[in-house]
Amino acid sequence: MSYGISIYFGLDNTNQENIRLLKEAHKLKFIRIFTSFQIPEADYSILKTEAQEFFKLAKEYDMDIISDISPNTFKLLDLHDMDLSGLSDMGVKTIRIDFGYSEEEISKMTNNPYGIKIQLNASTVTEEFFEKLDIYLPNYKNVDALHNFYPRVGTGISEECMKEKNAILSKRRIMVSAFVQSNNKRRGPLFDGLPTLEDHRGLQVREAANHLFALGNQSVFIGDSLPSKAELEDLSGLSSDVVELFIELKEKDNITLRLLSETYTQRQDEARDVIRASESRLLLNEDKIKPLNTIDKKYGDITIDNYNYKRYMGELQILKVDQKGDYRTNVVASVLKKNIYLLKYIKGGKKFHFNIINN
């Protein structure tokens, strides 16, 4: 799991703003930087100078600089075509192949001796592409993938498309990443955000990134020019292994609050009607849960069994269907409606935790 920022030299930000963003991201343990040298609106008269200064500092921080490349990129940087050694010397650790190279050339690059990773466009991969690539024996240990971002409203990919592409990549154990937009300063020239999923356009960084992690992406980048410090902090506070659910409390006793502050794992033997936390009863210690709020239960409600359920006391569940009230079960909180869709990703063995909005 990792987090990333995006830098576009010669475009919206000053060099000082880019450097300040780099330093803030580094402090929050961001380790990846996406940059592009293929933006028509960029001022190429200053692009190269700014990039060299920025790359020097990023290299000192040992951050993973990801640069998309084409034959024109090498010319822009005064390098020979496919001069991976020159890119490595600049601090580039990953190159993103978008167009202009054959399967044979891509395979050759995956076996480079400079430690540079090759990044595929996750949004456009197909089984046919990999069948052709396999002929040339690529080193898949040296390959990862990053989805596109989409500046124009209505052009972001669907969740179904992402699932399909991620499944293709997962077969080859290729790590996948994607973009969320910033709502602080959106990149020009359209200023409509740079998300991967169209459903994420306009969403907050934390909510969109949480969804991307739930979909199996191992790394998330903020696509826009200048995210706020709060957005960087929100992203850095997430884990790719844990689904975050925002909840509203219905009970505020100390035992309930303690249990709701833990991270849980959905049981491998998934129940039909509920998500069951594997650890909750073990975390009860010597506490005794009294009956409280034993009302009718709705889809998305969170319950904890009280002492009337005997050895099930402390059982924490999230309901996937409505149920009648039961004197043995306390209704303690509810998942916010905007987060209900995340329940479908909490399969057997998946971790989840709660973010209480009215504690």
User: CA 51: distance to chain centroid?
Assistant: 26
Which CATH number fits the domain that encloses residue 326?
A: 2.40.100.10
Would you say residue 203 has pLDDT above 90?
yes
Q: Are residues 220 and 313 in the same domain?
A: no
**How confident is the model over 50-99, as pLDDT tens digits?**
888 999 999 999 999 998 877 777 777 777 777 888 889 888 999 998 77
Q: Which residue has the higher pLDDT, 76 or 288?
A: 288
Same domain, 171 and 22: yes
Mean pLDDT confidence for 329-340 = 97
Beta-strand ranges (E) seen in 114-174 are 117-121, 143-146
The SS3 call for residue 103 is helix
CA–CA distance, 51 with 53 (Å, rounded to integer): 6
pLDDT grade for 359, boundaries at 50, 70 and 90: low
Instruction: Tell which residue, 280, 264, 240, 250, has the closest CA to residue 352.
Output: 264
- Same-domain status, 210 and 270: no
- Residue 106 is inside which H or E element, if any? helix 103-110
* 153, 214: one domain: yes
Domain count, the chain: 2
Q: Say if residue 180 is in the same domain as residue 163.
A: yes
- The stretch 202-224 carries a mean pLDDT of 97
Domain end marker among 239, 271, 293: 239
CA-based angle 180:128:172, to the nearest 5? 60
Range of the domain at 56: 2-239
Q: Do residues 169 and 290 share a domain? A: no
> What are the tens digits of pLDDT across the range 158-186?
999 999 999 999 999 999 999 999 999 99
Domain boundary among 181, 214, 239: 239
**For residue 315, what pLDDT is reported?**
98
Q: In terms of domains, do 223 and 252 share one?
A: no
Give the residue from 215, 239, 263 where a domain finishes. 239
211 & 258 share domain: no
Q: What is the pLDDT of residues 268-280, one digit of tens each?
A: 999 999 999 999 9
Here the CATH number for the domain that contains residue 156 is 3.20.20.70
d(CA 216, CA 145): 12
49: enclosing H helix or E strand: helix 44-60
**pLDDT tens, 10-65?**
888 999 999 999 999 999 999 999 998 877 777 777 777 888 899 999 999 999 99
* Residue 316 and residue 303 in contact, taking contact as beta carbons nearer than 8 Å: yes
Same domain, 219 and 265: no
Question: Tell me, what DSSP letter sits at residue 266?
Answer: B
- The answer to whether residues 174 and 143 touch, using CB atoms and an 8 Å cutoff, is yes
* 151 and 13 inside one domain: yes
Same domain, 148 and 289: no
Task: Supply the pLDDT for residue 47.
Answer: 76
| Mean pLDDT for all residues in the chain | 94
Closest listed residue to residue 147, CA positions, set 192, 181, 195, 106? 195
User: Which of 40-44, 100-104, 338-342 ranks highest by mean pLDDT?
Assistant: 338-342
Asked whether residue 65 falls in the same domain as residue 182, the answer is: yes
